[in-house]
Amino acid sequence: MSDHPNKRHYRFYDLLMVGFVTVLLCSNLIGPGKTCMIFGVTFGAGNLFFPIGYIFGDVLTEVYGFARARKVIWAGFGAMIFATVMGLFVVHAPTDPNEPYNKVLQPALELVFGNTWRIVVASIVAFWVGDFVNCFVMAKMKVLTKGKHLWTRTIGSTFTSQFVDSILFYPIAFLGQWETRTIIGVVIFNWLFKVVVEVVLTPVTYFVVGRLKRAENEDYFDDKTAFTPFSLAD
């Protein structure tokens, strides 16, 4: 629990939470349904948008502090659990044999939403750990840099957290199914690709953070925060 709990009400905090959860669910539910190839490199379509979730985490931590970002991470975690349970129910629920469309729809649902338990566990674990690492590094670096040089902590937190995310997800999901060298190559590519996305979108992060700080009259420093993930306290 923070030694100075933040009980303020913010105008845009709830909207950012909704945006974060929306990006998270879409990246994990829609993204894995298709692989893309650019310049001879194959990757899941969700990787094009998943880094946006980390940018949301950067903005939330920078403006509102670690504790407020922690609530958003738990909201995303709960949403992923619910989406997983709902997906399993929809895929495995008995179909109506009298509806011809089900013969076309059912295989498509199984293909897109019928992920193995390993992929589901990998997604949830990698998201939970990676996002908390991202927010922790952001908050700590903000205190260390005294709020200066925002780009160092947005890129630094992404560099660290995306490595943790990738090194957790791919081995949990595919170790024993893919060759080790393939997993290593995919981990490195996805890690660096997400960092590049963060770098490219740094001006956007600066713009959003600046506008939010002025609109909310807030620039929170986690100088007395207990950085436990297992709390919902402000």
pLDDT of residue 30: 73
Q: Among 167, 86, 91, which residue's Cα sits nearest to residue 129? A: 167
DSSP line for 22-54 = HHHHHHHHTGGG-EEEETTEEEEGGGGTHHHHH
Question: Domain extents for the chain?
Answer: 13-36+44-216
pLDDT, tens digit, 9 for 90 and up, residues 6-21: 678 899 999 999 999 9
pLDDT of residue 186: 86
In sequence order, what are the residues at sequence separation of 6 or more whose Cβ sits closer than 8 angstroms to the Cβ of residue 145? 152, 153
CATH number belonging to the domain at 13-36+44-216, selected among 1.10.3470, 1.10.1760, 3.30.450, 1.10.287: 1.10.1760
Sequence-ordered alpha helix ranges (H) in 93-116: 101-113
pLDDT along the chain (234 residues), means of 10: 68 96 86 69 73 92 97 96 91 91 88 80 94 97 97 97 94 90 89 92 96 97 94 89
pLDDT, tens digit, 9 for 90 and up, residues 173-184: 889 988 999 889
* Cβ 83 vs Cβ 28: under 8 Å: yes
H or E segment to which residue 135 belongs: helix 117-144
Which whole-number Å values give the CA distances from 205 to 23, 62, 91, 190, in the listed order? 16, 10, 38, 21
- Amino acid at residue number 198: E
Output the CA torsion 134→217→202→50 (10° steps): 50
Proportion of the chain above pLDDT 70, given as a percent: 94
pLDDT of residue 33: 58
pLDDT of residue 114: 75
Distance CA 143, CA 24 (A): 28
pLDDT of residue 49: 83
pLDDT of residue 215: 97
Distance CA 190, CA 195 (A): 9
